[in-house]
Amino acid sequence: MIQRALIFSLFLLLPSMVQAQSKDGTAILEQVKEKFYTIKEYEANVKIKVDVDFVKIPVKQGLIWFMQPDKVKVKIPGFSLLPKRGMNFTPNQLLTGDYTAIFIREEKLGEYNTYVIKVIPSDETDDIILSTIWVDQKRMVIRKLETTTKSEGTISMAFQFGPVVKKFDLPDEIIFTFDLRKNELPLGLTGDFENTEPRDKKSKNSKGTVTISYLEYFVNQGRAIAQFKKNK
């Protein structure tokens, strides 16, 4: 339930052994998908930081487990806000079944040269309408993902990697970005009668980000298997 999109994102993040010389969108994504399946399971120590202008929540530390094909579990002590959009995605949603991957262009994203690929599911009943993926040309990892869904609007994710390419090139950080309506609750609920600051009526919307930092991975070591077995 928790954020199957992590599977999707990780699926897309694995480095391809094959240099993407070809500008065939489908071929690039198939390579990335193949690499994804080399990760059977992992456990990761994570830090979750929420950055919304009207929300102040402490940085939380916890654990994330993943097991193929789409099992994800998050354990954060206390209360935490996890990005809803994007976390519910699975790579299977996007790359299983019929889809069309169209190479659009090459684009410089920050300091990285990327391929911009659009993915359109063939099934019109699919919740996903369109996805745009920026694939690092050199490292063959996903740097950015934007997906527009029928149910949850547009999801934007950015992926940060360490400078050194490891065996399982998993991201150090995923940054989720979204729009949300500003908090406007009646005084009766907050009891905030002493607040002298005038309410900012102009900016009703604000941008928010959730940054998940992956501090340490334990890949294919059986930790996630044990965790999911426990739940049975």
Q: Which residues bind other proteins (CB under 8 A)?
A: 2-3, 50, 54-58, 60, 74, 76-85, 87, 178-185, 187, 189-197, 199, 208, 210
Closer residue to other proteins, CB minimum distance, 65 or 103:
65
Q: Shortest distance, CB of residue 76 to other proteins, whole angstroms?
A: 6
Residue 82, judged by CB atoms within 10 A of its CB (0-12, 13-18, 19+), counts as: middle
Which residue has 């999801």 as its token pair? 155
142/119 Cα distance (integer angstroms) = 14
Q: 137 or 208, CB closer to other proteins?
A: 208
Q: What angle do CA 207, 210, 213 make, to 5 degrees?
A: 150
Which residue, 71 or 85, has its beta carbon nearer to other proteins?
85
Q: Which is nearer to other proteins, 63 or 141 (CB)?
A: 63
Tell me 196's DSSP state: -
Minimum distance of other proteins from residue 129's CB (angstroms):
18
Q: How far is the CB of 121 from other proteins (least distance, A)?
A: 24
DSSP 109-165: ETTEEEEEEEEEES-TTSSEEEEEEEEETTT--EEEEEEEETTTEEEEEEEE--SS-
Minimum distance between the CB of residue 139 and other proteins, rounded to whole angstroms? 30
